[in-house]
């Protein structure tokens, strides 16, 4: 008669799949609750295995990478139905969360979060997620850093990461250091630690305070055409192989690729994905599906998910017994313990980076502190989901209270017309104007085209095709040509504005973005790449100078009187000042009151810079001679363009939240709100044409609705 240890429960493939599909539908409350649910039904009630064997299996999966609850499902499925049963059990458990995450990703991408209400909710989600990550660092550390040696290895790893070292170096060193230390090779261990820190100082760049923000990522557009699908799959596989101690340990590895390396998404969007994963009945690692979409579209979502879960399937399906024997090896066990300590150091650094980039005002600090307190105070299974949802609702209420004070409709602008742009699906970037022919050029970035709008006849008359993510545009009247900065390649095309024929180009080092045309000196200024402003002669299109910056430049303004260029560098939270006499950066002004400084305008006469910030939504007025902040005003979310009207002494900001914010300049130091003008959700880019007394706003396409060029009269 078989013992309980040898008892085997045989089930059909359909029974196995449906059983674990049920577990997947009920998988609320994180890994502890999920494991408890599986244990109660399969061990305590149905006695598939003894409690001792269950504990041994669980101990193996706690050491190996991958979500333990999912690995246990594969294990039990294999016991009752072989490898096919194991596959069906794992698939059933992950399928509900995967499908729900696909649905939420579609909603997020299709409808966006440009409205003020949704932006407020997701800003609360982001704060709550950072609190969850900080709590996870402490919780995982308590279980994994079981002695002083592991604590020291974790701290040393943290310092190495802060200094800029890579986990490809740090994690193996951490693993071998613990093996050697446990074998009493103290001197060799100390040498390894000193060498790690020394090499970090000598060969790497500190990155703790670098935001690593994907500067131009739009919520409605993924980079699905820009990254190879194998790279997306490889990123998921790397995350799946390095999830020691739970899904939170995968966060730094996936974020490194998604935000810092490939630039698929911003930090805020990455946190949104984690928040959505945290409210689903699924392992938290399911947030990788969301990330995968931003890396490669729907196939990217599928491949990233496969990569993440593949190790969890294979470790069991290819031999749980072998894994159990390997893990019982003391040296290998210690190596993995050391690697886990190194991973905890990496999560700690990632948590601090996310905190610095997201928690940037008193309200966010208070919300973070309350969320963290509740996580420590209450241990309920669904507490993380409740905290995420609660933080979102509180942020919505806070935003509504704040906006109730600034809801006056401005009379400064009056909508007088709208022109349909039928071919401009997806994201729209910058605009420019041909005064001779009364044409507006619209960079239809997602469509790889520039749309030519005839203002007199109120229609699109031409589409300039075969561009590569057009971002910045400049119309050159002397040659009737359009200079197009392409973000995908860095190549700037020069196109005949009438025929659309390309007749020359300028090659820059990637991500050509904002363009300024100086008609007096016949020069083009182009922001590009990881940090540069190119000065291009606009007759023969030769690059005369390249001025290097600390990060990718967003909006910049040329001060002819001071012979300077002021450049927004949001990745570094800086405004960099270029001296045009020496063609070098002479000053760097740190963004303190608000960050994500994208648009900029200039009042040369009064020496004032107007800086639009997205985090938190603020208009900063700076002294352009000193960099000192003169004033700070609340604005609507997702600002992308700013214009200064010198005649009326007014400032116009087009915001993706669906408004144009208008401010009055009483004198150089005094500014007041004139209210806001409704536009459309996602309408971020704009163009002010003083000679027409008109303000143009590009409204992106929506469900069953073409993109529009909204035309406002400036009163």
pLDDT confidence of residue 496: 93
Helix axis angle for 383-403 and 116-144, nearest 10°, is 150
87 pLDDT higher than 70: yes
The stretch 250-265 carries a mean pLDDT of 84
CA geometry: angle at 643 spanning 642 and 645, to 5°? 150
16 DSSP 8-state letter: H
Where do the H-state alpha helices sit in 359-443? 362-377, 383-403
The stretch 604-633 carries a mean pLDDT of 94
Distance of CA 441 to the CA centre of its chain: 29
Yes or no: say if 66 and 255 are a contact pair by the CB < 8 Å rule: no
4 pLDDT higher than 90: no
Burial level of 108, CB count in 10 A (0-12/13-18/19+)?
buried
The tens digit of pLDDT for each residue in 307-323 reads: 999 988 988 888 766 76
Nearest Cα to 144, choosing from 347, 325, 418, 411?
A: 347
Yes or no: say if 330 and 263 are a contact pair by the CB < 8 Å rule: no
pLDDT confidence of residue 5: 47
Domain boundaries, the chain: 4-403, 412-429+627-715, 431-590
Q: How far apart are CA 488 and CA 346, in angstroms?
A: 31
Whole-prediction pTM value? 0.63
368 pLDDT higher than 50: yes
Q: How far apart are CA 24 and CA 237, in angstroms?
A: 22
Q: Which of 167-171, 237-241, 449-453 has the highest mean pLDDT?
A: 449-453
pLDDT confidence of residue 218: 44
Yes or no: say if 669 and 622 are a contact pair by the CB < 8 Å rule: no
Q: How far apart are CA 493 and CA 449, in angstroms?
A: 12
pLDDT confidence of residue 216: 40
CA geometry: angle at 435 spanning 432 and 437, to 5°? 105
628 pLDDT higher than 90: yes
pLDDT confidence of residue 246: 65
Strands 608-615 vs 617-623: parallel, antiparallel or unpaired: antiparallel
Residue 578 Cα distances to 54, 363, 566, angstroms: 65, 35, 6
Yes or no: say if 582 and 590 are a contact pair by the CB < 8 Å rule: no
pLDDT confidence of residue 326: 63
pLDDT confidence of residue 323: 66
Which residues have C-beta within 8 Å of that of residue 433, sequence separation ≥ 6? 439, 440, 441, 475, 687, 689
The stretch 238-242 carries a mean pLDDT of 87
Lowest mean pLDDT across 85-99, 213-227, 362-376, 511-525: 213-227
406 pLDDT higher than 60: no
The sign one gets for the Cα dihedral 531, 532, 533, 538 is negative
* Cβ neighbour number for residue 362 with a 10 Å cutoff: 8
Number of H helices, E strands in the chain: 16, 28
Yes or no: say if 462 and 503 are a contact pair by the CB < 8 Å rule: no
Percent helix, strand and coil across the chain, each to the nearest 5: 45, 25, 30
3-class DSSP state of 567: strand
Lowest mean pLDDT across 217-221, 237-241, 410-414, 582-586: 217-221
Q: How far apart are CA 286 and CA 102, in angstroms?
A: 10
pLDDT confidence of residue 176: 93
- pLDDT band, very low/low/confident/very high, at 703 (cuts 50, 70, 90): low
At the fourth CATH level, the homologous superfamily of domain 431-590 is YVTN repeat-like/Quinoprotein amine dehydrogenase (2.130.10.10)
Q: How far apart are CA 235 and CA 303, in angstroms?
A: 10
Q: Which of 142-146, 315-319, 567-571 has the highest mean pLDDT?
A: 567-571
Strand-by-strand arrangement of the 542-548 sheet: 515-518, 523-528, 532-537, 542-548
Q: How far apart are CA 23 and CA 291, in angstroms?
A: 24
- How does 500-512 read in b/e, with b if 16+ C-beta sit within 10 Å? bebeebbebebbb
pLDDT confidence of residue 137: 84
- pLDDT band, very low/low/confident/very high, at 219 (cuts 50, 70, 90): very low
* Average predicted confidence (pLDDT) for the chain: 87
Lowest mean pLDDT across 310-324, 376-390, 661-675: 310-324
CA geometry: angle at 608 spanning 605 and 611, to 5°? 140
pLDDT confidence of residue 299: 93
Q: How is residue 631 written in tokens? A: 């004033």
215 pLDDT higher than 70: no
Q: Which of 104-108, 331-335, 478-482 has the highest mean pLDDT?
A: 478-482
3-class DSSP state of 488: coil
The stretch 250-259 carries a mean pLDDT of 87
pLDDT confidence of residue 201: 85
140 pLDDT higher than 80: no
């Amino acid at each position: 008669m078989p013992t309980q240890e040898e008892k085997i429960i045989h089930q059909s493939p359909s029974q196995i799949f449906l059983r674990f599909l049920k577990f997947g539908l009920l998988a609320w409350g994180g890994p502890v609750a999920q494991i408890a649910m599986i244990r109660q039904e399969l061990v305590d009630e149905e006695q598939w295995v003894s409690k001792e064997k269950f504990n041994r299996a669980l101990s193996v999966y706690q050491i190996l990478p991958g979500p333990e609850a999912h690995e246990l499902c594969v294990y039990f499925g294999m016991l009752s139905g072989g490898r096919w049963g194991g596959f069906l059990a794992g698939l059933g458990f992950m399928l509900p969360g995967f499908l729900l995450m696909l649905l939420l990703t579609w909603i997020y991408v299709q409808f966006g979060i440009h409205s003020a209400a949704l932006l407020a909710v997701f800003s609360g989600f982001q704060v709550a997620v950072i609190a969850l990550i900080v709590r996870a660092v402490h919780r995982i550390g308590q279980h994994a850093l079981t002695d002083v040696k592991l604590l020291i290895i974790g701290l040393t790893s943290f310092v190495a990461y802060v200094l800029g070292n890579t986990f490809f170096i740090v994690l193996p060193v951490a693993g071998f250091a613990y093996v050697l230390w446990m074998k009493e090779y103290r001197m060799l261990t100390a040498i390894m630690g000193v060498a790690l820190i020394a090499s970090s100082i000598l060969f790497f760049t500190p990155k703790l305070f670098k935001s690593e923000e994907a500067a131009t990522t739009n919520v409605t557009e993924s980079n699905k055409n820009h990254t190879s699908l194998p790279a997306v799959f490889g990123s998921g596989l790397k995350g799946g192989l390095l999830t020691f101690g739970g899904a939170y340990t995968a966060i730094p590895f996936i974020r490194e690729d998604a935000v810092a390396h490939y630039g698929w998404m911003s930090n805020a969007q990455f946190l949104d994905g984690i928040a959505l994963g945290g409210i689903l009945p699924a392992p938290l690692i399911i947030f990788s599906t969301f990330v995968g979409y931003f890396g490669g579209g729907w196939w990217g979502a599928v491949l990233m998910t496969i990569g993440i879960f593949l190790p969890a399937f294979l470790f069991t399906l290819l031999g749980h017994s072998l894994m159990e024997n390997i893990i019982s090896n003391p040296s290998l066990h210690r190596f993995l313990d050391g690697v886990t300590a190194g991973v905890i150091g990496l999560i700690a650094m990632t948590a601090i980076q996310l905190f610095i980039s997201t928690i940037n005002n008193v309200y966010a600090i208070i919300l973070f502190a309350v969320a963290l307190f509740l996580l420590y105070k209450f241990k309920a299974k669904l507490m993380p989901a409740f905290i995420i949802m609660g933080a979102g609702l509180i942020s919505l209420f806070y935003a509504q209270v704040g906006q109730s004070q600034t809801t006056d409709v401005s009379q400064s602008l009056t909508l007088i017309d709208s022109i349909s742009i039928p071919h401009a699906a997806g994201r729209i970037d910058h605009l420019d104007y041909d005064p001779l022919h009364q044409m507006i050029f619209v960079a239809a970035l997602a469509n790889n085209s520039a749309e030519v709008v005839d203002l007199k006849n109120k229609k699109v008359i031409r589409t300039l095709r075969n561009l590569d993510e057009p971002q910045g545009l400049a119309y050159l009247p002397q040659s009737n040509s359009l200079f197009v900065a392409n973000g995908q390649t860095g190549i700037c095309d020069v196109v005949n504005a009438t025929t659309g024929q390309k007749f020359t180009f300028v090659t820059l080092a990637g991500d050509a973005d904002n363009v300024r045309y100086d008609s007096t000196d016949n020069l083009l200024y182009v922001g590009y790449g990881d940090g540069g402003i190119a000065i291009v002669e606009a007759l023969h299109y030769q690059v005369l100078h390249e001025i290097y910056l600390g990060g990718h430049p967003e909006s910049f303004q040329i001060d002819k009187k001071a012979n300077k260029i002021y450049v927004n560098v949001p990745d570094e939270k800086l405004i960099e000042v270029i001296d045009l006499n020496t063609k070098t950066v002479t000053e760097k002004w740190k963004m303190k009151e608000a960050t994500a400084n994208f648009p900029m305008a200039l009042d040369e006469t009064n020496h004032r810079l107007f800086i639009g910030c997205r985090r938190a939504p603020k208009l900063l007025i700076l002294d352009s001679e000193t960099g000192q902040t003169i004033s700070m005003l609340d604005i609507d979310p997702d600002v992308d363009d700013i214009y200064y009207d010198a005649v009326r002494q007014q400032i116009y900001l087009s915001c993706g939240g669906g408004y144009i914010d208008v401010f009055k300049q009483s004198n150089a130091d005094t500014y007041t709100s004139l209210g806001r003008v409704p536009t459309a959700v996602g309408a971020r880019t704009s163009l002010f044409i003083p000679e027409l007394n008109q303000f143009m706003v590009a409204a992106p396409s929506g469900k069953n609705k073409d993109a529009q060029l909204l035309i406002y009269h400036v009163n």
